[in-house]
Amino acid sequence: MNRRNFTKHSAVAASAAFVPGSGTGQAVSKPGKSDSCRVKPGGARVIVAGGGIAGLSTAYELMKRGHDVTVLEASRRAGGHVRTMHKPLDDGLYADIGAEQCTKPGYEIYRAYAKEFGLELLPYPRRTTQITYIKDKPYTEEMLRDRKILQGFGYNKREAAYMSEHGMNSLPGLYYAPYLDMFEDEYQPLGIGLDELDHIAVKDLLKREKASEKAVQIYGSAFTSALQALWQSAILKHRKVPVMPTQLFRIKGGNQRMTDAFAKRLGQRVRLGAPITKIEHGESGVNIHFKESGQAKSTSADYLVNAIPLTTLLRVTVEPRWSAEKAWVIQNTMFDFQSRVVFQARTPFWKRDGHSPNMACRSHHLHLVWEMAEEVEGDRSILIGAASAGTTAEQALAAYRRRYPGTSVDIERTLVHHWIQDPWAPFCERRGFGLGRLKKFWPEILRPHGRIHFAGAYADNLTWGQEAATRSAHRVAEEIDESS
DSSP characters over 8-73 = HHTPBPPSS--------PPPPPPPPTT----PPTTPPEEEEE--BHHHHHHHHHHHHTT-EEEEE-
Can you give the pLDDT of all 484 residues of the chain as single tens digits? 444 444 443 433 332 333 333 222 223 333 333 345 778 788 999 999 999 999 999 999 999 999 999 999 999 999 999 999 999 999 999 999 999 999 999 999 999 999 999 999 999 999 999 999 999 999 999 999 999 999 999 999 999 999 999 999 999 999 999 999 999 999 999 999 999 999 999 999 999 999 999 999 999 999 999 999 999 999 999 999 999 999 999 999 999 999 999 999 999 999 999 999 999 999 999 999 999 988 999 999 999 999 999 999 999 999 999 999 999 999 999 998 889 999 999 999 999 999 999 999 999 999 999 999 999 999 999 999 999 999 999 999 999 999 999 988 999 999 999 999 999 998 878 999 999 999 999 999 999 999 999 999 999 999 999 999 999 999 999 999 999 8
pTM: 0.91
Contact 345, 95 (CB under 8 A): no
- Residue environment code for 63-81, b if the CB has 16+ CB neighbours within 10 A, otherwise e: bebbbbbbbbbbbebbbbb
Q: What is the pLDDT of residue 34?
A: 39
Cα angle: 82, vertex 108, 230; to 5 degrees:
90
Q: ω before 320 within 30° of 0 (cis)?
A: yes
Could you give the CA distance from residue 308 to residue 356 in angstroms, rounded to a whole number? 38
Contact 267, 253 (CB under 8 A): no
- Residue 457's nearest CA partner among 235, 272, 295, 308 is 308
Integer angstrom CA distances of residue 103 from 108, 186, 246, 463 = 9, 18, 8, 14
Helices (H), 292-374: 310-313, 324-332, 349-353
